[in-house]
Structure 1
């Protein structure tokens, strides 16, 4: 078994640490505070400190970038962190596995596949596009080995308030019979990626050389509307019929004047104003991994509530 270094212990990093530990690997979790799940080595470090990150990663088989800066800080926070990950991968030889997103594609018509151009014009989308372009160029030049896994919006056990279908803002209120506000039309089909599936795909990508050198989409089930997810969640939990309503656009804009998060969400609201569909068939066929069925995922979420 090998040594695997995970930077970030949030809703994905913690799940990934468990997956790798179950496989018998030595797992090191790096965060600014030194937090992390039980059963792993936990180290406090600033990821922008290249010498420190390289020292921690020395001898590792894989380095996982599971960091998630606050949205309004991306332009400032990502460049030094991304540079540190690249430098560390080059110095140590560890495979760089980055948890990406779909922002880089920008608005698209039809299902998203990995061969789509990275045509985003917004700040966050261009930032993620540049990060992959730099990683891919370094991989092509033989300086590092790298891959990026892109997922849609998360849902699942231990999801944080950063997730649209998260425990605090979505699951708990619905199960308590309360109304839930959604930032756009809740009847629009949308791809949702199950958190344990994200961790499983990352674990595969860090240990299977077939994954290296290109981006992949995390196995994700058929697109389903927010309202349909809410209805099935409440049905399975024997909870009151869900009440999900669209946050009025004027109110959405007004909140953005005082909330950095809502202000940043203006750039990516297009993802919820029309169907947003992820095609993950390439990863599924190559690695034999299927997405967790919606009912199974929702039952796990209910059990963890």
Structure 2
């Protein structure tokens, strides 16, 4: 039985632990809080700080594969993210552990068409530049033979394990309140369904030939955020049209005065101001599956937040 260590138990960490456990692997989940929220009962847990080299080396001692899903607060990325990744790369190298790193699409900047593995990496933000630098560092470590590395690049998350989906979309829909989205309502956007991201990371981590590169992951059928809100609203049993706050322009700048997270999101707003599409054909050809059907993803997302025996159709 292979041992898989999941660093972080947040939006993807907990679903990934469930996915790996469902495949019969030994799963060890690591976080600092000690929370077991979302973890499968068979997962082992270790509480500690992955920035502590002694703790991390001990945690990876018997691991076959580790999955890096931890990250600093958005406003401390530049100062804290590179040394965090370096510490994890070093520990994986010392223990001979394969490492799957959770990346994103920031490095591609303002896309001219669907984002694919062959799209040029032209960052349009400081965070995109940082992600590009960190990916290059990780892949250089792979090429030098220090550690086997693969990176996953999903689009923006959608799913019941993701806090923004719950707090901005699903819970307001159940309560009949105003929903909220970032950016324009009328531009097509391809979201990554959280269970699909977990499945993809598990596929890569259990493969023998997916290492030494980054993978753009499958995304849901593109839809506008207006359509997304309407689908969630109706799936939650509501009638009529939802009221939605679009966070952009002045409202977002005002919100940024009170939230460092919103303030740091300003430079990423371009991702929601134009069509944002994904072409994951390389992953799909290698692993033989595509994203979950959109209607199924929305139905399960709503059920995952508040299970209800009567779920309206989203078709």
Short-chain TM bin: over 0.9
Contact 1:174 1:243 in 2 (8 A): no
TM-score, normalisation: structure 2: 0.91
Deviation digits for residues 256-281 of structure 1 (CA, Å, limit 9, x no counterpart)? 12321111011100000101111111
Q: Distance in 2 between matches of 1:8 and 1:271?
A: 26
After superposition, residues 219-258 of structure 1 pair within 5 angstroms as: 219-240=218-239, 241-247=241-247, 249-258=249-258
The Cα shift of 1:187 comes to 1.3
Confirm or deny that 1:122 pairs with 2:125.
yes
Q: Distance in 2 between matches of 1:182 and 1:72?
A: 20
Confirm or deny that 1:22 pairs with 2:22.
yes
Q: Distance in 2 between matches of 1:254 and 1:220?
A: 31
Contact 1:186 1:245 in 2 (8 A): no
| Gap change, CA 1:23 and 1:122, over 3 Å in 2 | same
Alignment correspondent of 2:162: 159
Q: Distance in 1 between matches of 2:103 and 2:141?
A: 17
After superposition, residues 122-271 of structure 1 pair within 5 angstroms as: 122-160=125-163, 163=164, 166-240=165-239, 241-247=241-247, 249-271=249-271
Alignment correspondent of 2:313: none
Contact 2:17 2:29 in 1 (8 A): yes
Q: Distance in 1 between matches of 2:181 and 2:288?
A: 34
Q: Secondary structure at the match of 2:209?
A: helix
Q: Distance in 1 between matches of 2:257 and 2:245?
A: 22
- Counting matched residue pairs gives 301
Contact 1:186 1:244 in 2 (8 A): no
Confirm or deny that 1:53 pairs with 2:66.
no
Q: Distance in 1 between matches of 2:299 and 2:180?
A: 22
Q: Distance in 2 between matches of 1:250 and 1:127?
A: 27
Q: Secondary structure at the match of 1:284?
A: helix
Q: Distance in 1 between matches of 2:118 and 2:247?
A: 34
Contact 1:180 1:245 in 2 (8 A): yes
Deviation digits for residues 51-109 of structure 1 (CA, Å, limit 9, x no counterpart)? 32111101211010011322111112212210111101211111110111111111121
Alignment correspondent of 1:69: 72
The Cα shift of 1:33 comes to 2.0
Contact 1:103 1:128 in 2 (8 A): yes
Q: Which runs of 5+ in 1 are unaligned?
A: none
Q: Which runs of 5+ in 2 are unaligned?
A: 307-315
The Cα shift of 1:121 comes to 4.5
Q: Distance in 2 between matches of 1:286 and 1:23?
A: 19
Alignment correspondent of 1:88: 91
Alignment correspondent of 1:282: 282
Contact 2:189 2:272 in 1 (8 A): yes
Q: Distance in 2 between matches of 1:261 and 1:158?
A: 19
The Cα shift of 1:248 comes to 5.3
Q: Distance in 2 between matches of 1:150 and 1:18?
A: 20
Q: Distance in 1 between matches of 2:243 and 2:71?
A: 30
Q: Distance in 1 between matches of 2:269 and 2:81?
A: 21
TM-score, normalisation: structure 1: 0.94
